[in-house]
Structure 1
Amino acid sequence: MAGVPNMLLSGIVGSTAYGLAGPDSDVDRLGVYAAPTVAFHGLNPPTGRDASIVSHDPDTTYHEAAKAAALMLGGNPTVTEILWLPDDLYEVRTALGDEMIAIRRAFLSAKRTRDAYFGYAVSQLERLLRTGQFQSKMRKRQAKHGRHLLRLLDQGFHLYATGELPIRVTKPQRYIDFGEAVAADPQVARPVLAEADERFNSVQSALPAEPDRPAIEAWLHRVRRAYLDPA
């Protein structure tokens, strides 16, 4: 967090937040900050890669408010979870950060949620299949991908069906066992994906067809007003 100006919201995410951390797990952090409003009127506004502050070992990612909002509107599971953390995992919560949490459902839409969470899970399987020939060297990494594949399917379905995103998993050992199973044989994940697809098809989503963009726009305008350069 050192050196990141105007932090609005930050907290502990990843395996620690899910309840899946092992003895070798890092503590990952995610946050939302506000660039000074005047910066958007210069030659190099903070957009794209310039709107994210990233470091590794452990993974720490802070997105500028507009970029964070855009990623959430797209259903990005990794970024969206910052709005649904248990209270004890937040490390910074400002008034504007609390406002963002208060409108968290405004970012959601049924199709984007399904496509994002299910799509991320499919990408996890593809990664597992690509590295299958190196299982002896990459077993821990593959087990991690397997755990997160199952978590994404469960979290995504719950969010799609109920409008609520659970962060901590209820039965960690189930995910650990599944991770070990797919590390040994990635094909084990295929029927789980097929079953998840059927689950999504079996319910009427609690989410709207489109996000509430005016509510998000109004919040972002409040952020920009708060960080205007007095000069």
Structure 2
Amino acid sequence: MQPEDLVRDHTIYACVTGSRAFGLATDDSDTDRRGVYVAPTALFWRFDKPPAHVDGPLPEQFSWELERFCELALRANPNILECLHSPLVEHADATGRELLALREAFLSRRAYESFTGYALGQRRKLDADLRTRGAPRWKHAMHLLRLLISARDLLRTGRLTVDVGAEREGLLAVKRGEVPWPR
């Protein structure tokens, strides 16, 4: 069985993530698709296990095998949590709906460390941009702020909201470089 077959034939949950789910899409935004598949049991009875993730088969599509997806969700991986909470669900079979029903169980205090850790990663990218290019890539600054807003709201409410809502225009202004960056 080819990896693409796992995604095509065994996907339990699929959604749109990225700028479209965040409410930050512009005319030139791509469509990031993420999903979860359940590999058939027989594939686990071999020396070579099924892949933990598959890139494709569609452009900008990435899927995880359910076990790996849950491991990452338990670590409060922001990409995984945002996938689980995406407002743009394209497919959810019965097992996918069970996974969605459990999504709140994956929210824990670990989210603070993981979201701020990802935000620090964006900050490091900004610092590297300043060193190598002399100016920040504004998209990195926007994502740093978006991650911190998500972490703040999650800590305040106990809920993860993916769409940035009222923060949209301010974040897009940062992305366009309209907000000064201290040097």
Question: Could you say which TM-score interval applies, normalised by the shorter chain?
Answer: 0.7 to 0.9
Report the RMSD for the aligned CA atoms in angstroms.
Answer: 2.4
Judged with a 3 Å threshold, the aligned counterparts in structure 2 of structure 1 residues 182 and 118 are, in CA distance, closer, same or farther, namely farther
Residues in 1 aligned to 2:55 and 2:133: alpha-carbon distance in whole angstroms: 29
Letter in structure 2 aligned against 1:174: G
Task: Report the CA distance between 1:92 and its aligned residue.
Answer: 0.8
SS in 1 for 2:98: helix
Instruction: Indicate yes or no: 2:62 matched with 1:61.
Output: yes
1:78-227 to 2 correspondence within 5 Å? Answer: 78-86=79-87, 89-110=88-109, 112-132=110-130, 133-134=132-133, 142-171=137-166, 172-181=168-177, 185=181, 187=182
How many residues of Structure 1 are paired with residues of Structure 2 in the alignment? Answer: 177
Instruction: Indicate yes or no: 2:70 matched with 1:72.
Output: no
Judged with a 3 Å threshold, the aligned counterparts in structure 2 of structure 1 residues 54 and 184 are, in CA distance, closer, same or farther, namely farther
Letter in structure 1 aligned against 2:27: P
Q: Relative contact order (C-alpha < 8 Å, sep 6+): which is higher?
A: 1
TM-score w.r.t. structure 1 length? 0.70
Give identity over the alignment, percent: 34
Task: Report the CA distance between 1:57 and its aligned residue.
Answer: 8.9
- Does the CA contact (< 8 Å) of 2:139 and 2:174 recur in 1? no
Residues in 2 aligned to 1:126 and 1:92: alpha-carbon distance in whole angstroms: 35
Judged with a 3 Å threshold, the aligned counterparts in structure 2 of structure 1 residues 175 and 56 are, in CA distance, closer, same or farther, namely farther
- Does the CA contact (< 8 Å) of 2:17 and 2:32 recur in 1? yes
Task: Report the CA distance between 1:135 and its aligned residue.
Answer: 5.1
Gaps of 5+ in 2: none
SS in 2 for 1:131: helix
Which residue is 1:225 aligned to?
none
- Does the CA contact (< 8 Å) of 2:173 and 2:179 recur in 1? no
Which residue is 2:28 aligned to?
24
Judged with a 3 Å threshold, the aligned counterparts in structure 2 of structure 1 residues 14 and 135 are, in CA distance, closer, same or farther, namely farther
Residues in 1 aligned to 2:59 and 2:179: alpha-carbon distance in whole angstroms: 23
Out of 6, 11, 29, the position equivalent to 1:7 is: 11
- Does the CA contact (< 8 Å) of 1:8 and 1:92 recur in 2? yes
Task: Report the CA distance between 1:178 and its aligned residue.
Answer: 2.5
TM-score w.r.t. structure 2 length? 0.87
Judged with a 3 Å threshold, the aligned counterparts in structure 2 of structure 1 residues 57 and 92 are, in CA distance, closer, same or farther, namely closer
Residues in 1 aligned to 2:155 and 2:47: alpha-carbon distance in whole angstroms: 41
SS in 1 for 2:125: helix
Higher helix share: 1
Letter in structure 2 aligned against 1:106: A
Gaps of 5+ in 1: 189-231
Letter in structure 2 aligned against 1:115: E
**Higher radius of gyration, 1 or 2:** 1
Cα deviation 1:62-110 (Å, max 9, x = unaligned): 0000000001111111111122122xx1111111111111111111211
Judged with a 3 Å threshold, the aligned counterparts in structure 2 of structure 1 residues 135 and 13 are, in CA distance, closer, same or farther, namely farther
Task: Report the CA distance between 1:160 and its aligned residue.
Answer: 2.3
